[in-house]
Structure formats: C-alpha cells, structure tokens
Amino acid sequence: MVINGVGAVATGLTTCVVIVAKFAEGAWIATLAIPGLVLLMSAIHRHYQKIESEIDTRSPAQLSGITPPVVVVPMQSWSRVAEKALQLAYTLSQNVLVLHITSEYAADTQTDNALMQEWGEFIVHPAAEAGLTPPQLVVLPSPYRFVTRTIVEYILNLEHIHPDRLISVVLPELVERRWFYDFLHNQRAALLKIMLYVKGNGHIVVTNVPWYLSA
C-alpha cells in the first residue's frame, strides 16, 4: 500500500508539472480528456446499475394462466418463405392473422388477385385438414403503397385492443449467401421491426423467419 501510494503521488505530481509546463503546447487536451473520460465511465456505470436494478428479480417464474399471443404474418404473396412464416406462426398460437396490403398499381393488383384466388386452396383448406383454425385474412388498402406505415398502424391498434396479450409479428427474411446482396432485401422488414419496437408499449414481439437462398 505504501509503495502504491508513493507511486500514485509521484504520478500525480508529474502530471501536474507536465500540464502546467506544457499547457499551451497541447497538455490542455489531457486536462479536458481525462475528466471527460472519468465522467463518461461513471455515467456508463450508473446506466448499467439502473438496468440491473430494473430487470433483477428474486421471485419465482409466473407460468400459470399464460395466454397464447395474437400472431400477425405480413404476406404480400404466397411463396415458400410465406409458408415457412405461417408454419412458425402456428407453433405459437391458433390465433393467426395474415396481413395483406393492397394498392392501386396494376402489378400489385395482379399479386393481390393471385393471393385471393390461392387463399382457400393453399392456406385455408390445409389448415382445416391439419386440425388448425384457419388464419384470418386482413386486407388493408394503401393507395400510395405505404406498406410499412399501414402495417405498423394496424399492429399498434391490435395491441391497444388486446392489452393483456402479446402481439407476435412473424417477419419472413431472405438470407443471401453473398453479403453484398443483403442491400437488395429485407430493408422494409428491418424498418418495420424498428418502428414497432419504438412505437409499441412492450407487448409486441418480432420474430424473423430466415429463408436461406441457395443461389
């Protein structure tokens, strides 16, 4: 302790001498940086302490009376990716809502019509044959193709309607083999997840369902 104390005093005196002698030549940077780093580290430490006190618990797990979530699957068209998302949705709950956004553009109208025609054959009948409650198709118009905003508004309203239940949003995600292709996909899904977490009140859970592309 004595050796450490002497070393600390010597280091402190040396620091003071250097700061005074070299203040105008750049030592002022250390004068500002050192207290700033100390304050920053103290703030980070207080932040971690606050988080720890908020999430810490010593009570037993509350596992009785759990209600399955309301599961929302955004779906623009029927595909293998949509099928995988729907399969995951049924592992979570029988209350599944498929959310489809329509628009006024010709290309989108063709996709909308295709999904409506395939809905019974590809989704409703297989669900009934498997002993599952067929999903409810929710069609929301979006004249200006504001897909993300329309989905967020619907899910936030759903969260308001079911304040005692979790809202699980299942988002299909394409996984490319080459990293530089990632910029071409999943931007809307990433934005949707951020908006739901920021605007929700803690009852929204977002699950990404990856589909690994072979090409």
Per-residue model confidence as pLDDT tens digits over 130-147? 999 999 999 988 876 678
pTM of the entire predicted model: 0.77
Q: What is the pLDDT of residue 212?
A: 84
Q: Report whether pLDDT(6) > 70.
A: yes
- Say whether 176 sits in a helix, a strand or coil: coil
pLDDT-derived band at 106 (thresholds 50, 70, 90) equals low
Q: What is the pLDDT of residue 186?
A: 63
11, with CB counted inside 10 A (0-12, 13-18, 19+), is exposed
User: Contact at 8 Å (CB) between 101 and 147?
Assistant: yes
40-65 pLDDT, tens per residue?
999 999 999 999 999 898 889 888 88
Q: What is the pLDDT of residue 14?
A: 84
What values do phi and psi take at 38, rounded to 5?
Answer: -65, -45
Q: Report whether pLDDT(175) > 90.
A: no
Could you give the CA distance from residue 65 to residue 47 in angstroms, rounded to a whole number?
34
Report, as an integer, the average pLDDT of 173-193.
76
Query: Six-digit token pair at 211?
Result: 């589909």
Q: What is the pLDDT of residue 161?
A: 92
